[in-house]
A and B are shown apart, each in its own frame.
Chain A
Amino acid sequence: MLRDEPAGDTIVVIRATPLTIEATIDDIAEAATESAEAYEVTAGNRREVLYGVSVFSAQDDIETLAILERFDAAESYLMARVDALRQAGFAVLATGARADHFDVQLLDGRTDHDQPASSEEISGAARRLVEIAGPLRPNPFYAGERGGPERR
Chain B
Amino acid sequence: MTAAAANPWHVERIDLDVVARLAALHQPDSRAIDTGVDIISDPHRVNDDGYNWTRLRHARNVADVVPGAAVVVGSAIGEYLAKVIAWDFEVSDDDPIVVLELLPIQPSEVRRLLARRTPAA
Contact = CB atoms under 8 A, between A and B. Distances in A.
Interface string B72-97: 00001111100000000001000001
A113 interface: no
Interface in A97-142: 97-98, 101
A36 to B, nearest CB: 11
Nearest to A71: B77
Contact of B77 (A30, A55, A73): A73
Contacts of A18: 76-77
B119 interface: no
Interface string B60-77: 000000000000000011
B77 A150 contact: no
Contact residue range for chain B? 20 to 34
Contacts of A74: 77-78
Contacts of A96: 45-48, 50
B108 A101 contact: no
Contacts of B80: 73
A11 interface: no
Chain B interface, >50% SS class: loop
Contacts of B112: 150-151
Contacts of A37: 55, 91
B42 A31 contact: yes
Contacts of A98: 46, 50
A147 B42 contact: no
Interface in A32-72: 34, 37-38, 54-56, 70-72
Interface of B: 42-50, 53-55, 76-80, 91, 97, 104, 106-109, 112
